[in-house]
Amino acid sequence: MFDVNENIWKENSGMTEKEKKSYLGQYANIEAEIKSLEIDRNEINNEAERIKAMKYSDMPTAHKITDISDTIVRITDQQNKIDKLILELMTEKAIILDSTNSISDTHARLAVKYVYAIGHTIKRASELLICSERTVDRLLKKGISEYNVNIDVE
C-alpha cells in the first residue's frame, strides 16, 4: 500500500534526477491504490446493503440486534477509513501534478507529466505532443533538470 506519510518537506536541492523521476512516478502508484480502495469501498457498500436487507427472523433470537449493530459500526468505520485514505491519496496526487508547474517550458512540462507521472511511453508522449521521440527525450531531460519540488520526507 502506498504510504502518504512517508514524505515530509525536504528541499529539492539534494534531489538527483533519479529521485525526481521516482517522485513523479508515485502518481501512477497512487492511481492504482485509489482504484483498489474504491473496489474495497464498493465491496463494503455491498456488504452494508446485504445487512440492511437482512431480516431479524433470519438470525438467532439472542443475537439479532447486537450482531447487526456491531456489523454496521464495523462497516461504517471501514468506510470512513477508506474515504480518508482516498482523500489523502488524491491530495498527494494533486501535489505531484502541481509540482510540475515549476517547469517553465510547457512542452517539457507536458512531456514530464505524460512519461513520469502518468506513465505513458515516450512513443505515446510523442504522439500526444505531436513531435518526434527524440524531441520528447530532449524535453524530458530539460524538464527534469528544471523540475523543483518540495517533497515530504519523514
- For 102-111, write each residue's pLDDT tens digit: 899 999 999 9
Q: Where are the alpha helices (H) located in the chain, listed in sequence order?
A: 17-53, 64-99, 106-112, 122-129, 133-146
What is the 8-class DSSP label of residue 119? -
Which band of pLDDT confidence, cut at 50, 70 and 90, is reported for residue 8?
Answer: very low
Rounded CA gap, 28 and 114, in Å?
Answer: 11
Q: Is the pLDDT of residue 64 over 80?
A: no
The model carries a pTM of 0.66
Rounded CA gap, 111 and 145, in Å?
Answer: 13
Q: What percent of the chain has pLDDT over 90?
A: 38
Helices 17-53 and 133-146: crossing angle in degrees, nearest 10, is 90
**Which three-class secondary structure state does DSSP give residue 102?**
helix
Which band of pLDDT confidence, cut at 50, 70 and 90, is reported for residue 75?
Answer: confident
Q: Which pLDDT score is estimated for 136?
A: 96
Pairwise pLDDT comparison (78 vs 151), residue with the higher score = 78
Residue 86 CA from chain centroid, whole number: 8
Contacts for 129 with CB less than 8 Å, ≥ 6 apart? 107, 110, 111, 114, 135, 136, 139
Mean pLDDT for the stretch of residues 90-111: 90
